[in-house]
Structure 1
Amino acid sequence: METKNLCAQIPIDLHQKVSDEREKKGITTSQYVTEILEEFYRMKEAKPMTKDTRTLALQISEELFERIKDHLQKTGMKQKDFIIGLILEALEDEEHNETNEVEAM
């Protein structure tokens, strides 16, 4: 991939945050800034919310996040599709269990 340099002056406290996070991930500054910018543009390009949609957000451990990221790369799935699939599967299982309990009575 062809690359080009991007240089910007940022506040010292923000630079420290970037350095700390980059070190935690064990990646280069270029990799970290690329990751942040790609995420920003993915969010910006996402479909806008309508009155029929809601946002579901949660925090997970870095370890779990990396496991999910690896799984998504292996399967080619998108994060949103993966999570919605898990939620729907759990809801359908619960509904199925409730139906079986009612029928057993």
Structure 2
Amino acid sequence: MENYKNLCAQIPASLHARVRTEQEQSGQTLSQYVTALITEYYNLKEGRKMEGTRTMAFQIPEELFQRIKCYLDSESERTGKKVSQREFVLGLIQKALDDANIA
């Protein structure tokens, strides 16, 4: 398991309130939520630098989103490695295309 370090930063009170509200609604601890935010930020930043990539975005029902989130949390705990939504969805797409023998 990866070692953890503390990160402390002063942020505006309004942003703090927003972060705490979203974090509580997510059902994650503050550490989990901030880790996910920072990881998502860097994944997006790195993704924009990658040549030949396209963005795929869509909305899903809240119930399905919560089920996916529970699955990702359990997989992250089981493997000891954070499993991102991106990794999960890309894995599903790649498996479906491989199963259909589409190159």
Structure 2 length-normalised TM:
0.59
Q: Which has the larger radius of gyration?
A: 1
Q: 1:57 to 1:30 in 2, by over 3 A?
A: same
Deviation at 1:54, TM superposition (A): 3.3
Query: Which residue of the partner structure matches residue 55 of structure 1?
Result: 55
Distance 2:33 2:58 in 1: 22
Aligned residues: 85
Distance 1:39 1:67 in 2: 19
SS at match of 1:78: helix
Q: Counterpart of 1:57 in structure 2: which amino acid? A: A
Distance 2:13 2:61 in 1: 27
Q: Which structure's relative contact order is higher, taking Cα pairs within 8 Å and 6+ residues apart?
A: 2
Alignment of structure 1 residues 22-61 onto 2, 5 Å: 22-46=23-47, 48-50=50-52, 53-61=53-61
Unmatched runs of 5 consecutive residues or more in structure 1: 93-105
Q: Counterpart of 2:55 in structure 1: which amino acid? A: T
Q: Counterpart of 1:59 in structure 2: which amino acid? A: Q
Query: RMSD over aligned Cα, in angstroms?
Result: 3.1
Structure 1 length-normalised TM:
0.58
Distance 1:59 1:11 in 2: 30
Q: 1:62 to 1:36 in 2, by over 3 A?
A: farther
Q: Counterpart of 1:63 in structure 2: which amino acid? A: E
Q: Counterpart of 1:15 in structure 2: which amino acid? A: H
Distance 1:8 1:61 in 2: 35
Distance 1:37 1:9 in 2: 16
Query: Which residue of the partner structure matches residue 82 of structure 1?
Result: 92
